[in-house]
């Protein structure tokens, strides 16, 4: 028995090529892989016709020829399943065997669900052109406005000199011609410029955020008695310079949001959001309460251990037991989630929770949402003095979903590219991400971010700042295209997207937020027609973990301080400052307190941060913004030429580029060409002794904590042993029938553990397998 495998790519191998070497004459089955590609159906029909001619099967319909279109990279691909059934049947006929398979033949496998439809495969090139086109139009308007300003000056001068009326009329006619060339938007900008300047020169300014009026004091008095303005505007008179500044910069809170997505920073609250997670849920809960002990706003950011990150349950198995509660908190049941956030009102408007989880993110998110719902149910029942009716429970549930604030990372694309905690097949993981977003739309979840599109891990894996930004934004636009292909409206999901960047010491990090906000805003408005809220890119930023070194660890606080200063200058929406000892161990309370003090000293003591647009007007910042933006657009084009983000992932392009850049950095560091203080230059003349190094205390989960987690898990499973099986079967049925998996997970997590759910989803969605 022979099988011919035809790989369908940009150079489709024609049936005649197979004919030349007699392959079709001898083949029992022919496979055309990569069947999601454009032209695949035509290729299949061509091969079917050639097979029909070669085997003289003119009495049978061409569609009956044994030619199969497959997408072998997809789990449970109908074409591959149909091929396997045919293969078993053919072996049985030829060898007289009686092999059986539970797989079913799918008739007329012609269309395949793909993440990005073929007609949208050039989306990244279109995005690059959208941004460049915006800037070209802006510059054209700048030229018109500048000439108009010059003509007005000439008219004024002519009148002062008493020039003839016909000269002045000619100039007035020329002025009218140039005014007609201005777009309505340009006219509005110029007409309101003096009013804008007057608003920011006042003592107070009233702005609206989410339909709330906020009164902001516009100056801060120094000890010397000077009034420092919160926002400073340029003193331009030239119409062209005014237009260029507004089109490229503008005031914070105004398109294209280069300086920030809100008019002013939140009063009375710092952007602090510290990352924590260690040992048991109870231990991490204590750390959370320590971190926000004196804060009105409770901003919690959760790190999970590797057992949780890979969707497993705690166990005595040697490869699991040692990792339970290490470098993150162990959470495997709804009970654990409730212990983790005990004492925090998850629906308080001043509380928000971020969870750094990706592979099993839908499961952990369902646990979190149920924790928030159960909190509010308990409060309501205590208030009423009785259990809630089913109708009352649904009302509380809906209110909770619409109120709870926070973020789940759930960025599976960057996991493949740089972090590696993928557990489900990529297509299935993306399907669940889409299900979460559809659930959010259905239940009007407006205050919770369904994904944190992350560049941090790409940077930690070795990418330089331009690559980090380009890959992260490209991933974000890929999610946009995927959600649009599922029929969602841009303004229904774009506000639920958030971003997460790393901040190092390279010059490009000075403008990473500015460039991200400007590209996102321009593309959202100009290409996707999104509303103002959707145009605003909000991001969390964390100081670089890769820049921390085990040698001279006290110097790490200096690096972190500089990185935090850049982030605050750039109006990040929230910030995590790393502890100096993170190069060695999980931070201690002492090191975390120092890390928090870095932010507090910058925001409370450092005078220049009283101004909220300190980067605007700097020649180097403006130049860097333009240079980095263009470099990002060029990277979009390189990704586009490789088939977009998903096509590039198939070829390992992102991973290869990250590895190359990591090697370049390490080579420079090792050679001393890139000076690292205390590491390859300015070395300590009295380094610590081996005994001192061995005495450094490392934070670890105890044996008792690991056993406690296993015991609690088994108690949960025993309590729900009669309910878990049917719940998992319902979950698998929903997944195989194309239903909303997250909606079902909201019920499944009540009775099944993380590991049980993960294994059930493996059966219907497939485990992750890296492309080779």
Is 499 part of a structural domain of the chain? yes
Residue at token pair 């002013």? 264
Q: 624 and 683 in one domain?
A: yes
Domain that holds residue 182: 123-248
671 in the same domain as 598: yes
**Residue pair 221/229 in contact by the 8 Å Cβ criterion:** no
β-bridge partners, 298 = 351
Two structure tokens written together for 98:
């009686």
Q: Pairing mode, if any, of strands 212-217 and 204-209?
A: antiparallel
Domain co-membership, 224 together with 197: yes
Residue located via tokens 């072996």 = 91
Would you say residue 550 lies in a domain? yes
Q: Does residue 730 fall inside a structural domain?
A: no
Give yes or no: residues 80 and 159 share one domain: no
Q: What is the pLDDT of residue 10?
A: 43
Residue 723 lies inside a defined structural domain of this protein? no
Q: Which residues pair with 207 in a beta bridge?
A: 214
The alpha carbon torsion through 322, 328, 329, 331 (nearest 10 deg) reads: -80
CATH code at 429?
3.20.20.240
Residue 18 pLDDT:
58
- Distance between alpha carbon 334 and the CA centroid of its chain, in Å? 26
Cis status of the peptide bond prior to 256, with omega within 30 of 0 = yes
Does one domain contain both 238 and 308?
Answer: no
137 and 102, same domain (yes or no):
no
Q: What are phi and psi of 451, to 5 degrees?
A: -155, 145
DSSP 231: S
What's the rounded Cα separation, in Å, for the pair 452 and 47?
45
Residue 442, CA distances (Å) to 361, 512, 629, 750 in order: 19, 34, 36, 21
Question: What is the domain count for the chain?
Answer: 3
Asked if the structure places residue 726 within a domain, the reply is no
Q: Is residue 259 part of a domain?
A: no
Asked whether residue 102 falls in the same domain as residue 205, the answer is no
Question: Residue 698: what pLDDT?
Answer: 78
With residues binned 3-state (H G I as helix, E B as strand, rest as coil), the percentages for the chain, rounded to 5, are 55, 10, 35
Residues lower than pLDDT 70 in the chain: 1-21, 107-113, 271, 771-772
**Residues in contact with 627: Cβ distance below 8 Å, sequence separation at least 6, in sequence order:** none
- Looking at the structure, tell me whether residues 399 and 481 fall in a common domain: yes
Last residue of a domain, one of 645, 672, 694: 694
Is residue 512 located within the same domain as residue 648? yes
- pLDDT score of 21: 56
Do 405 and 351 meet the contact criterion of CB atoms below 8 Å apart?
yes
Domain endpoint, select from 208, 229, 248 = 248
Identify the H or E element spanning 227: strand 227-229
Is residue 313 a part of any domain in this protein? yes
Please report the pLDDT score of residue 11 as a whole number.
41
Q: From the CB of residue 590, how many other CB atoms can be counted at a distance below 10 Å?
A: 11
Instruction: Answer yes or no: do 159 and 67 share one domain.
Output: no
Distant-in-sequence, close-in-space partners of 189: CB < 8 Å, separation ≥ 6: 242, 243, 246
**Gap between the Cα atoms of 128 and 80, Å rounded:** 36
For residue 725, being part of any structural domain is answered with: no
Question: Which residues partner with 454 through β-bridges?
Answer: 500
Q: Decide if 502 contacts 541 (C-beta within 8 A).
A: yes
Whether residues 62 and 107 fall in one domain = yes
User: Which segments of 292-381 are extended strands (E)?
Assistant: 298-303, 351-356
Q: Which of 659, 694, 729 is the last residue of a domain?
A: 694
Whether the Cβ atoms of residue 29 and residue 86 lie closer than 8 Å to each other = yes
Q: Are residues 388 and 449 in the same domain?
A: yes
């Amino acid at each position: 028995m022979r099988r011919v495998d035809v790989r369908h790519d940009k150079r489709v191998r024609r049936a005649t090529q197979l004919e030349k070497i007699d392959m079709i004459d001898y083949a029992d089955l022919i496979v055309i892989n990569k069947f999601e590609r454009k032209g695949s159906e035509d290729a299949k029909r061509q091969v079917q016709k050639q097979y029909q001619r070669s085997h003289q099967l003119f009495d049978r319909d061409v569609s009956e020829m044994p030619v199969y279109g497959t997408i072998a990279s997809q789990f449970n691909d109908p074409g591959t399943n149909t091929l396997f059934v045919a293969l078993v049947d053919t072996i049985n006929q030829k060898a007289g065997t009686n092999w059986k398979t539970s797989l079913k033949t799918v008739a007329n496998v012609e269309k395949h669900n793909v993440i990005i439809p073929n007609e949208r495969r050039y989306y990244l090139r279109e995005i690059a052109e959208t941004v460049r086109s915006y800037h070209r139009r802006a510059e054209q308007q700048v030229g018109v406005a500048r000439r108009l300003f010059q003509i007005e000056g000439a008219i004024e001068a002519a009148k002062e000199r008493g020039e003839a009326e016909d000269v002045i009329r000619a100039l007035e006619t020329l002025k009218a011609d140039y005014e007609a060339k201005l777009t309505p938007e340009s006219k509005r900008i110029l007409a309101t410029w003096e009013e804008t300047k007057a608003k920011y020169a006042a003592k107070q300014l009233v702005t609206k955020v989410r339909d709330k009026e906020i009164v902001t004091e516009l100056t801060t008095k120094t000890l010397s008695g000077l009034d420092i303005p919160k926002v400073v505007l340029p003193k331009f008179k030239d119409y062209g310079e005014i237009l260029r500044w507004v089109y490229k910069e503008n005031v914070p809170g105004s398109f294209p949001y280069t300086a920030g997505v809100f008019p002013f920073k939140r009063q009375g609250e710092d952007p602090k959001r510290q990352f924590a997670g260690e040992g048991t849920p109870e231990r991490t809960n204590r750390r959370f309460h320590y971190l926000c002990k004196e804060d009105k706003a409770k901003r919690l950011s959760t790190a999970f251990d590797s057992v949780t990150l890979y969707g497993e349950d705690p166990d005595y198995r040697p490869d699991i037991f040692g990792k339970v509660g290490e470098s993150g908190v162990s959470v495997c049941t709804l009970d654990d989630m409730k212990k983790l956030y005990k004492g925090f009102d998850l629906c308080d408007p001043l509380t928000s929770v971020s969870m750094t989880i990706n592979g099993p993110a839908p499961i952990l998110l369902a646990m979190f949402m149920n924790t928030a719902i159960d909190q509010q149910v308990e409060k309501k029942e205590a208030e009423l003095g009785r259990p809630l009716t089913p109708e009352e429970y649904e009302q509380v549930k809906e209110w909770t979903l619409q109120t709870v604030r926070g973020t789940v990372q759930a960025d599976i694309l960057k996991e493949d590219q740089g972090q590696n905690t993928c557990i489900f097949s990529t297509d299935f993981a993306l399907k669940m991400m889409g299900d979460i977003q559809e659930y959010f739309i259905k239940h009007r979840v407006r205050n919770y971010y369904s994904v944190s599109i992350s560049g941090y891990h790409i940077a930690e894996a070795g990418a330089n700042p331009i690559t980090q930004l380009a890959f992260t934004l490209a991933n974000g636009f890929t999610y946009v295209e995927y959600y649009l292909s599922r029929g969602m409206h841009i303004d229904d999901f774009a506000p639920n997207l958030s971003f997460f960047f790393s901040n190092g010491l390279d010059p490009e990090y000075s403008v990473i937020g500015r460039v991200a906000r400007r590209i996102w805003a321009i593309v959202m408005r100009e290409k996707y027609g999104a509303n103002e809220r959707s145009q605003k890119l909000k991001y969390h930023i964390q100081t670089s973990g890769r820049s921390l070194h085990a040698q001279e660890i006290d110097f790490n606080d200096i690096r972190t301080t500089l990185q935090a200063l850049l982030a605050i200058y750039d109006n990040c929406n929230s910030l995590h400052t790393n502890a100096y000892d993170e190069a060695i161990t999980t931070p201690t309370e002492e090191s975390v307190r120092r890390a928090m003090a870095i932010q507090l000293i910058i925001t409370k003591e450092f005078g220049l941060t009283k101004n909220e647009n300190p980067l605007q007007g700097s020649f180097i910042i403006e130049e860097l913004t333009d240079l980095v933006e263009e470099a990002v657009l060029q990277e979009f084009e390189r990704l586009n030429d490789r088939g977009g983000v998903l096509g590039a992932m198939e070829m390992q392009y992102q991973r290869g580029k990250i590895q190359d850049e990591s090697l370049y950095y390490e080579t420079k560091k090792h050679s001393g060409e890139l000076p690292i203080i205390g590491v390859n230059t300015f070395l300590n003349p009295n380094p610590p002794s081996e005994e001192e190094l061995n005495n450094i205390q490392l934070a670890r989960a105890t044996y008792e904590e690991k056993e406690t987690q296993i015991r609690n898990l088994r108690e949960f499973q025993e309590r729900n042993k009669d309910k878990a099986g049917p719940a998992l079967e319902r979950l698998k049925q929903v997944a195989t029938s194309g239903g909303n998996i997250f909606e079902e997970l909201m019920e499944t997590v009540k009775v099944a553990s993380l590991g049980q759910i993960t294994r059930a989803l493996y059966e219907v969605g497939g485990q992750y397998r890296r492309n080779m």
